[in-house]
Structure 1
């Protein structure tokens, strides 16, 4: 029975590399996958899923008006699995389309993304996934300052932590760090 999986973690928790590994494993077994990623994440180019370890692949970009269900349903040969990266940036309507893929087409969907933003608030896409996913799994990583589990994302401007401002700013390790709760509220900078 197909299910909707939401696999979340802080930055640098290996979410994208895990997605790329799952895609590879399916394809090595002769199965078809469809990979999607939000167009807003253009760090490596629009429609690119890339890991910081240097592995990447093309993906179908998701815009506000993209209908994931229609794209998958229109495939002559249906995929064996649908994968979505950076799911924190998708809308609730996209999550409901993923539910439709699972429930109406019987295709498993595995979604990867951040849970919370640097303001310590749920991303709308992540909140919708928490409500709709059949399975929610945490991918763990450690705080950049200690060995505790990273649960928060700390944003920096000019070397100083910030807790307000524009919610979506696509950037990397120079702007964001994964930290534990104590270091989120009291970073050693």
Structure 2
């Protein structure tokens, strides 16, 4: 990964936005930040004041501590995600999904065409009610929902036991193609 702000002439024109959610597995905290030149951050602050009061102070303090964790934390985190990704993807493929291998996320997008459902929402409802596995409809990630109507997203930021149980349940799926 190369931050665009590190390229010649780009720092003064770049807003870098990040958050605690995924790297530190605290998605409910909603603690994040923006780094930019002062003129831009002043404008961001004005808008921010109208949108939210701010994240709770204890969560901000915890976030500051997390930012000071040693580099080994990130290496272990990435390795854990790779291991879990490599645990789930073969199970999805064996169940009939065509998988799009993620290169930085803790979820995998899949094509559901082999199962004969009308769309992703119908399929994810079936998955939960009949198979007992949750996935997110792919259409929710597209400006035009039709572009994602043949996709669903599975998260692998779960315990090994949970992934293994999902794999077992997904074997019940019936392909139509």
**Bigger strand share:** 1
Higher RCO (CA < 8 A, seq sep 6+): 1
Q: Do Structure 1 and Structure 2 share a fold, with TM-score over 0.5?
A: no
Rg (Cα) greater in structure: 2
**Bigger helix share:** 2
